[in-house]
Amino acid sequence: MSAHSDLMRIPKTRGVEIRVSRSRYRNRERVDVREYVGFGEPDSMKPTKRGVNLPLEHLPRLLAALHAIEREAIRDGELLPEDYENAGLPVPPALRGAA
C-alpha cells in the first residue's frame, strides 16, 4: 500500500486520533477512516485495526449515510452551531440562527 494522504485528523482522546485519508492499494484508490494511537509527536502515531478502508467508488454511499446521520442529529438537537465552529467548519444552513 502506498503512503496515506491524511486529509483530516480528529482528536479522540489523549494519544488517540481518527485519521481520514486517501490511499492506493493494488492500483485502486481507497478511502480510509482509521484510529491511530501513540504518544508524543504526530509522526509517531501508529494505525490500529479499528477503522474502515473502502474503494473510492463507495465514497458517495458513505457520504450519503453520514449526511443522513447529520440531518437526524441536527433535527434532534444533538448537533449545535458551536460544534461546527469549534471544528473550524461552516455552520450548516439548518442550524443558522438556531443558537
Cβ(6)–Cβ(19) under 8 Å? yes
Domains of the chain from N-terminus onward:
5-95 (2.30.31.10)
Q: pLDDT tens digits for the chain (99 residues)?
A: 455 677 888 989 888 999 999 999 889 999 999 999 987 666 788 999 999 999 999 999 999 999 999 999 999 999 999 999 999 999 999 898 755
Q: Which of 32, 40, 33, 34 is nearest to 15 (CA)?
A: 40
Question: What span, in angstroms and rounded, lies between the C-alpha atoms of 31 and 51?
Answer: 11
Opening angle at CA 39, ends 33 and 44, nearest 5: 65
Q: How far is CA 40 from CA 3, 51, 61, 82, 84, in A?
A: 21, 22, 35, 29, 27
